[in-house]
Amino acid sequence: MILYIGAAILLALAGGFRIAQEYERGVVFRLGRYSSTKGPGLYWIIPLIDRQRRLDLRTRTVAIEQQETITRDSVTIKVNAVLWYRVFNPEKAIVFVEDYRAAVYQVALTSLRNIIGQHVLDEVLKERDAINQTLRKIVDEATAPWGVNVEMVEMKDVEIPESMQRAMAREAEAVREKRARIIKAEAEAEASAKLAGAAELIMAHPASLELRRMQMVSEIGAENNSTTILMLPSEIVSLAGSLSRLVETRAAQGKSKSSATE
User: Which neighbouring-strand residues pair with 152?
Assistant: 84
- Are residues 77 and 143 both part of a single domain? yes
Tens digit of each residue's pLDDT (9 = 90 or more) over 203-233: 776 666 666 666 666 666 555 566 656 555 5
| CA–CA separation, 59 and 133 (whole Å) | 18
In a domain, 134, yes or no: yes
Residues of the chain predicted below pLDDT 50: none
Q: Say what the pLDDT of residue 232 is.
A: 56
Tens digit of each residue's pLDDT (9 = 90 or more) over 148-179: 999 999 998 888 877 776 776 777 778 788 88
Residue type, 76: T
- Are residues 77 and 6 both part of a single domain? no
User: Which neighbouring-strand residues pair with 33?
Assistant: 30
In a domain, 13, yes or no: yes
- Are residues 101 and 154 both part of a single domain? yes
| CA–CA separation, 132 and 182 (whole Å) | 36
Local structure of 232: helix, strand or coil: coil
Task: Indicate the number of domains in the chain.
Answer: 2
Q: Say what the pLDDT of residue 140 is.
A: 94
Q: Say what the pLDDT of residue 109 is.
A: 92
Count how many residues are written for the chain.
262
| CA–CA separation, 80 and 36 (whole Å) | 39
| CA–CA separation, 162 and 159 (whole Å) | 9
Considering 119, 137, 160, which residue would you say is the last residue of a domain? 160
In a domain, 151, yes or no: yes
Q: Say what the pLDDT of residue 142 is.
A: 94
Local structure of 164: helix, strand or coil: helix
| CB-count burial class (<10 Å; 0-12, 13-18, 19+) for 239 | middle
| CA–CA separation, 189 and 184 (whole Å) | 9
Q: What is the pTM of this model?
A: 0.63
The boundaries of the domain holding residue 47 are 2-55
CATH code assigned at 75: 3.30.479.30
- Are residues 42 and 68 both part of a single domain? no
- Are residues 69 and 132 both part of a single domain? yes
